[in-house]
Structure 1
């Protein structure tokens, strides 16, 4: 092969990778905008409209139901995608199924008028958005070399942050016309998912060796021995604790603004968007640079530990300064730390998989349980803390403790530096 042809092949590969990164960013942006819009603005407003006096408990019922229902969705879809045989490859069919189904149930959720139907339709939306989300980490492991995974992780992190900001701002705009808002998000999900599949075609998996699926083996696979794979276990614990620290404030942000900072309904809807923009800008400063620097230094752990400590410090601000200005300071510092964490976390996760390339989809899905399980527990824990203490300060105290423990859990990991 001539030098010119080698350079042409290399350039084509670089172009494909840049295109993949662009669409990963777009899909993750839309996906996280949906999560943020629904969790922070749409669903809390729908729940409060039904019964203002029972809003905290009712929101816990809705969000906990969805989180419990989705705990095993990503590992299950990951395992199925490992075995999927189609012209579109292993992962793309699940991206399309998740997007199409989620769009339908978003429209149904928009018209829900009782707690039961809000819960049912919200659960279905979350199940299908998780179905869309499940193949994404496996796609990175399939198509991105190890040396570039820090950048890939940072690209996803930037999509997460932009999506969170855009989602809350957009939802705040549509807070008085939620039906239209759900329709807009449904359209964005469809466009981004179909665009991703169209412009990032995978190799056909129709002729790949078929691996049988056994439920007993799959369920047994959820037990990853901490003795045999200690790095995997510590990574699971670290992510679990960090999501606990993060989720308490995010889940009840609207109610914190109304009951802890004493803002009106209208003002809190718009101020939540301002906080998200501040958090986004702070995180964008740290995200991409952290991913690049992590790859250059070949280090993951110091970034994750540092991010955990920063986030823990940020959560102390509303305790000492329970004002709108204090919440802006929280958003800025918390966003900076969360940006660092997001930019490196996925790269760290891919380096501690028990058997990379064999059951990548399943293993990344199991690690994602460290995200979905605390999401299930957080509303119940927060509800109990609020009921016991009569206020939201206990959420911040608990978050500080979880963030510090998350930093400690990263230290014993040996498979990543």
Structure 2
């Protein structure tokens, strides 16, 4: 029998699932997609493309370890404040401090070192926040809660680029603003979620065997889990291979100066943000109503391939705006749909943060794969070809989502 508690929407948690991902992703995306490339181009304009790829690769290695390790530690945490709140607050404070130090770096090696530290701590925030979808959301509200989480991701991802575009002339101030957002948003999110003590929950004694289990990929009932991982990886590769180089695409492909690039970057980010918010809010409840998140994800992922061909055929500001509209629809919907799918395919809900951390490898590895593929394509064929490559990659992602059996 379903309890009344299961019937009610946990609205405080839902609101916190908007604020939480927005508060860590906004600084992260604003820095990595705009301010980091800008600062690199100021220090070493000749080698800016390979340096962006190098930063992404090294940061991926750090984030790869951090997301899984800190997620597993969060799963085992037992305190009177719960198991997610201490990690969200603690890592948000550290993220703020590290960004403030990073903002004053003046050489590539120092920038790289502090960026790696930032990647380590910010993934502790991310792992703890997303695990709440599995811990505390009743199945009937999973799509709606995933929409809230996706809404936060959309705000963070797109608003981060929009805000960062205003600080192209003062990167240091921009990073300082992002540091404040990371601190305030992370703490507010954790307090609003209202997590209670979990001291009563059993936990396996720590041992060498438990340590191995904490670091292992799931092996039982995990076929759809790995299909989801591969599909998410390809989707991130396809999406990021354009967004990571958007500043250079505007300047070197469309031929805009810094002022023109800043204006178009702001316009495109605003379009993608507004459309993404609307589609994100609608996709989760729609998936709850019709019970077919997979079919919706297949369709929206395929839309990105269509949108990618527009700026390839029409390399103009108007073509890029059309691209942003189509991608905004698809990305907004996917931000909730894919999170719903990810929670459903978890092999073991008791290890939610760890296994969602493994799924989040798609974001980390995808970002690096995107930089590698994009740099190779740009080097061989120019900026226009990166849109064709994006279309091919996201179509492969759509096919993998279609092959998942456990989700309709």
1:392-412 Cα deviation digits (max 9, x unpaired): 123212111111011110122
**Contact 2:241–2:386 (CA under 8 A) maintained in structure 1:** yes
- Counterpart for residue 224 of structure 1: 219
1:234-290 Cα deviation digits (max 9, x unpaired): 111111111111010111110111111111123213321211111112222322111
C-alpha separation in 2, matches of 1:200 and 1:300 = 25
Question: Residue 204 of structure 1: CA displacement?
Answer: 1.3
**1:359 is matched with which residue: 351, 355, 367?**
351
1:350-389 alignment, distance < 5 Å: 350-356=343-349, 358-389=350-381
- Counterpart for residue 405 of structure 1: 396
Question: Residue 223 of structure 1: CA displacement?
Answer: 5.4
> 2:168 aligns to what SS in structure 1?
coil
> 1:211 aligns to what SS in structure 2?
coil
- Counterpart for residue 63 of structure 2: 70
1:24-52 Cα deviation digits (max 9, x unpaired): 11122222211221022210110000111
- Counterpart for residue 202 of structure 1: 195
C-alpha separation in 2, matches of 1:380 and 1:231 = 27
**1:334 is matched with which residue: 308, 327, 330?**
327
Alignment: residue pair count: 403
1:144-165 Cα deviation digits (max 9, x unpaired): 1111110111111111222223
Q: Using structure 2 for the length normalisation, give the TM-score.
A: 0.94
For the structure 1 residues 182 and 203, does the alpha-carbon distance in structure 2 shift closer, same or farther, using more than 3 Å as the test? same
C-alpha separation in 2, matches of 1:394 and 1:146 = 42
**CA RMSD in angstroms, aligned pairs only:** 1.8
Structure 1 unaligned segments of length 5 or more: list them. 1-5
**1:107 is matched with which residue: 94, 100, 106?**
100
1:193-246 Cα deviation digits (max 9, x unpaired): 221222323221234323234333333x22536xx4221121111111111110
> 2:360 aligns to what SS in structure 1?
helix
**Contact 2:17–2:148 (CA under 8 A) maintained in structure 1:** yes
C-alpha separation in 2, matches of 1:66 and 1:53 = 22
- Counterpart for residue 269 of structure 1: 262
Question: Residue 350 of structure 1: CA displacement?
Answer: 0.8
C-alpha separation in 2, matches of 1:223 and 1:291 = 27
- Counterpart for residue 177 of structure 1: 170
C-alpha separation in 2, matches of 1:10 and 1:73 = 33
- Counterpart for residue 185 of structure 2: 192
- Counterpart for residue 241 of structure 1: 234
> 1:71 aligns to what SS in structure 2?
helix
- Is 1:33–2:29 an aligned residue pair? no
C-alpha separation in 2, matches of 1:116 and 1:266 = 29
**Contact 1:165–1:273 (CA under 8 A) maintained in structure 2:** no
Question: Residue 76 of structure 1: CA displacement?
Answer: 1.5
- Counterpart for residue 293 of structure 2: 300
1:6-33 Cα deviation digits (max 9, x unpaired): 98x789x54xx11111121112222221
Question: Residue 55 of structure 1: CA displacement?
Answer: 0.8
**Contact 1:62–1:118 (CA under 8 A) maintained in structure 2:** no
- Counterpart for residue 141 of structure 1: 134
Q: Using structure 1 for the length normalisation, give the TM-score.
A: 0.92
Structure 2 unaligned segments of length 5 or more: list them. none
**Contact 2:40–2:48 (CA under 8 A) maintained in structure 1:** yes
- After TM superposition, the runs of 4+ consecutive aligned structure 1 residues lying more than 4 A away are none
